[in-house]
Chains A and B, each alone.
Chain A
Amino acid sequence: MKRIIKYLIIAAGMITTSVTVAQNPAPAAKQSGSVLIMNVKAHIGNGKVIENAVIGFDAGKLILVADATTVKLKKDSYAVVIDGYGKHAYPGLIACNTNIGLAEIDMVRSTLDYNEVGEMNPNIRSIISYNTDSKIIPTVRSNGVLMAEVSPRGGMISGTSSVVQLDAWNWEDAAVAMDKNMHMNWPRMYIYQGGGPESEENQRQRMQRELSVLEQYFNEAEAYCKQQQPQEVNVRFEAMRGLFDGTTKLFVHAGYVKEIEAAVLFAKKHTLKMVLVGGSDAWRVASLLKENSVPVILGQTHALPPREDDDTDLPYKLPFLLHRAGVTCAISIDGSWQERNLPFMAGTAAAFGLDKEQALAMITAVPAQILGVSSSAGTLEVDKDATLILTSGDLLDMRSSVVEAAFIQGRTIDLDDAQKQLYRKYMNKYDLK
Chain B
Amino acid sequence: MKYTLLAMAAWLAGITATLAQATFPVNGPTDPRHTVFAFTNARIHVDYKTIVDSATLLIRDGKVLEVGKEVSVPKDAVVMDLGGKSIYPSLIDMHSDYGMPEVKREHATHETGPQFLSNTKGAYHWNQAIRSEYDAYRNFSVDGKKAEELRKLGFGSVLSLNKDGIVRGTAAIVLIGNENENDLILKDRAAAEFSFDKGTSTQDYPSSLMGSIALIRQTFYDAQWYKNGGYRKEYNISLAAFNQLKDLPFIFDAGDKQNELRVSTIGEEFDVQFIVKGNGDEYERLTEIDNAGMRLILPLNFPEAYDLSDPYDAINISLHDLKHWELAPTNPAALEKAGIEFALTATGLKNKNDFWKNLRKAIDHGLTEQQALKALTAAPAAFLNVQDKIGALKRGMIANFIITSGNLFSKETVILDNWVKGVRYPIGNSEQKDIRGNYSLVTASGKPSRMKISGEALSPEMYMYEDTLQVKAMAFSRNGDLVTFSFERKLEDPKGVVRYSGVLEEQGWSGNAQLADGNWTNWTMTFDSLITLTEKKDTTAKPLKDIGKISYPNMAYGWKELPKAGTVLIINATVWTNEAEGILTEADVLFSNGKIVQVGKDLVAPAGATVIDGTGKHLTAGIIDEHSHIAVSNSVNEGTQTSSAEVRIGDVLDADDINIYRQLAGGVTSSHLLHGSANAIGGQTQLIKLRWGQSPEELKFDGWPGFIKFALGENVKQANWGDLQTVRFPQTRMGVEQVYMDYFTRAEEYQQQQSRWTTTDASLKTNAVPPRKDLELDALSEILNSKRFITCHSYVQSEINMLMHVADSFGFEVNTFTHILEGFKVADKMKAHNVRGASTFSDWWAYKYEVYDAIPYNAAILHKVGVNVGYNSDDAEMARRLNQEAAKAVKYGGISEEDAWKFVTLNPAKMLRVDDKVGSIKAGKDADLVLWNDHPMSIYAKPLTTYVDGIAYYDSERDAQLREDIRKERARLVQQMNEVKLKGEAVRKPAAKPQILKHCLEEEYHTIH
Using a CB–CB cutoff of 8 Å, the interface residues on chain A facing chain B are: 104-108, 135-136, 188, 190-194, 196, 200, 203-204, 253, 255-258, 278, 280-281, 284, 299, 302-309, 311-313, 336-337, 340-341, 344, 347-348, 350-351, 396-399, 401-402, 419-420, 422-423, 426-427, 430, 432
Contact = CB atoms under 8 A, between A and B. Distances in A.
B804 to A, nearest CB: 17
A192 B992 contact: yes
Contacts of A255: 1007-1009
B891 A402 contact: yes
Contacts of B847: 105-107, 337
B648 interface: no
A347 B939 contact: yes
A430 B863 CA distance: 12
Contacts of A396: 939
A237 B881 CA distance: 46
Given A192-B991, A399-B897, 20 more contacts: A105-B849, A107-B720, A108-B849, A193-B993, A253-B1009, A256-B312, A257-B315, A281-B1008, A307-B318, A309-B319, A309-B555, A351-B942, A398-B887, A398-B937, A398-B939, A422-B853, A423-B857, A423-B860, A423-B893, A430-B864
A299 to B, nearest CB: 6
A105 B720 CA distance: 12
Contacts of A196: 994, 1005
Contacts of B316: 190, 307
B877 interface: yes
A422 B855 contact: yes
Interface string B531-559: 00000000000000000000000011100
B176 to A, nearest CB: 30
Nearest to A193: B991
B121 interface: no
Best-buried of B320, B855, B864, B890 by chain A (most CB within 10 Å): B855
B178 to A, nearest CB: 35
Interface in B881-901: 881, 884, 887-888, 890-891, 893, 897
Given A191-B990, A302-B881, A308-B320, A107 B848 contact: yes
Contacts of B1007: 188, 255
Contacts of A344: 884, 939
A255 B316 CA distance: 13
Contact of A398 (B824, B884, B997, B1009): B884
A337 B845 contact: yes
B916 interface: no
B963 interface: yes
Interface string B549-592: 00000011100000000000000000000000000000000000
A190 B1007 CA distance: 10
Contacts of B937: 398-399
A131 B828 CA distance: 36
A399 B846 contact: no
Contact of B315 (A105, A204, A307): A307
A219 to B, nearest CB: 26
A426 B830 CA distance: 14
A200 B991 contact: yes
15 contacts: A190-B1008, A255-B1007, A304-B662, A304-B995, A305-B662, A308-B658, A309-B319, A350-B939, A351-B941, A397-B938, A397-B940, A398-B887, A399-B890, A422-B853, A426-B824
A256 B557 CA distance: 23
Interface in B235-280: none
Nearest to A337: B846
B871 interface: no
Contacts of A308: 318-320, 555-556, 658, 995
A430 B884 contact: no
A281 B555 CA distance: 22
B989 A200 contact: yes
Contacts of A304: 659, 662, 876-877, 995, 997, 1006
A195 B939 CA distance: 39
A13 B857 CA distance: 29
Contacts of A312: 557, 661-662, 665, 880, 959
Nearest to B989: A200
Contacts of B940: 347, 350-351, 397
Given A107-B720, A341-B843, A191 B991 contact: yes
Given A190-B992, A341-B843, A432-B865, A280 B1008 contact: yes
A430 B856 contact: no
A108 B1006 contact: no
Contacts of B861: 423, 426-427, 430, 432
A420 to B, nearest CB: 8
B970 interface: yes
B878 interface: yes
A204 B990 CA distance: 11
Contacts of B848: 105-108
A342 to B, nearest CB: 12
B852 interface: yes
B714 interface: yes
A308 B657 CA distance: 9
A398 B885 CA distance: 8
Contacts of A136: 846
